[in-house]
Amino acid sequence: MTFARILQVFKKEMIELRRDKWARFRLVIPPIIQILVFGYAATFEVFGVSTAVLDLDHTQESRDLVSRFVYSDRFQIVKIARNQQEIVDGIDDSDAAIAIVIHPGFAQLLRKGQTAPVQVIVDGTNSNTALIALGYMNEIAATFSRDYMTDHLQRTRDGPPLRGALVTLEQRPWYNSGLNSRWFFVPGVIGTLVLTMIVNLTSFAIVREREVGTLEQIMVTPIQPVEFILGKTFPFFLIGLGEVVLIAGVGTLWFGIPFVGNPLVLLLGTSLFLLSTLAIGLLISTLCMTQQQAFATNFFVVNPLFTLSGFSFPITSMPTVLQWLSYLNPLRYYLVIIRATFLKGVGLSVLWPDMLALAAIGSTLLAVSILRFRKSLD
């Protein structure tokens, strides 16, 4: 293995990249658009859920309950229905995602000190929004009953004001005190973007050489496959680092995501992660003869990696088998590292198992892909 030949391939690759006017655009604009889209759009919080109300009780109590929905920014009352049919229509037509129906006798039950049911109809098509909205509704209903109860007790008893025995939670979220989901997503986007870009770049670049015939030509020169691979992929490694800086820059400067950790720890984690992404790209390139095949294969590889990474779906909620599988996923570890360095500021003393896992996965994948690459030339 000679360094000179690695350098020649590297230089050749850089000249090609420099001449590719589209490359500059492709490498900069889409990531920025992605990070902006994710930064603004990706959120688990639910605001302004369209709500229809049918109040058949017409009492002070029922109006009080409805007004609590009106004044909550989580819900937006879009329809005051006059009968059950209008409620059904509203949900069917997607005018409303939630309907609250207060049946006659609601206040009467309350006054007797009994449990008064309120009917809630939820459009379950978007199960996520529905679940979160139901949570907010429970909260409103609970506050309503608590207030009603204290009020009732106070009015019916003589003597000093009395409160019902209550438990309150004092929340202290660490690292992200506002529980801002943007803080959770934006660092994660760095991981997913780098994965997609580098896998695509690497596999396309090598498959293109195969398609054009340069790969066959190169292999009859004294160059070793390893030399070729190193020279060929090193530019993508640099691009990967550049992307991380770019996206992290937009994330911290534009969205104000804090970066409290050590940049060197992130650099180490990123380098190890890039090892895996380059290897995945290389591995795909050994399986594909054309760029179209590579495109389709990338899609099938990147999507599961994304889904099983903990980027948005919690790994702990997955079936056991998928949880095991996610241990093989480099993105899983990188997301831990990246979120930890951004938000928690922890260092290697905490992150070493993830670093180790990334190094192991990366070097295994790389070894396999180099062996396969050699074979694929036959």
Partner 1 sequence: MSAPDKPKIRVAGLTKRFVGTTAVEGATFDIARGEIFGLVGPDGAGKTTVMRMLAGVMRPDAGSIEIDDVDVVADPEQAKLHLSYMPQRFGLYEDLTVDENIRFYADLFEVPRKLRDERTGPLLAASNMEAFRRRLAGQLSGGMKQKLGLICSLIHTPQVLLLDEPTTGVDPVSRRDFWRILYSLRESGVTILISTAYLDEAERCTRLALFHEGRLRYCDTPKRLKALMPGTLLAITSTAARDLHKALLGRDGVMSVMLVGDGVHAVVDDADRRVPELSAALDAGKIPHGELVRVTPSIEDLFVGLLKDEHAS
The residue ranges that bind partner 1 (CB under 8 A) are 2, 4-5, 8, 12, 15-16, 19-20, 209, 212-223, 377-378
Q: Cβ of residue 3: shortest distance to partner 1, in angstroms? A: 12
In sequence order, which ranges of 114-180 are alpha helices (DSSP H)? 127-156
Strand partners, 49: 75
d(CA 61, CA 58): 8
* CA dist list (Å): 17 to 20, 24, 160, 255, 285: 5, 8, 80, 31, 19
Residue number, 142 or 377, with CB nearest to partner 1: 377
d(CA 90, CA 68): 21
Phi-psi region of 213 (alpha: psi -120 to 50; beta: other; left: phi over 0): left
Q: Cβ of residue 221: shortest distance to partner 1, in angstroms? A: 4
In the sheet that holds 49-55, the strands lie side by side as: 75-80, 49-55, 98-102, 119-122
Give the strand pairing for 49-55 and 98-102. parallel
* CA dist list (Å): 119 to 116, 141, 279, 329, 350: 10, 12, 55, 44, 49
Q: Cβ of residue 241: shortest distance to partner 1, in angstroms? A: 23
Give phi and psi for 53, each to the nearest 5.
Answer: -125, 135
Residue type, 314: P
Q: Cβ of residue 313: shortest distance to partner 1, in angstroms? A: 41
DSSP E strands: which ranges in 47-156?
A: 49-55, 75-80, 98-102, 119-122
Phi-psi region of 43 (alpha: psi -120 to 50; beta: other; left: phi over 0): beta
Residues 361/328, Cβ–Cβ less than 8 Å: yes
Residue 141 CB neighbours (<10 A): 16
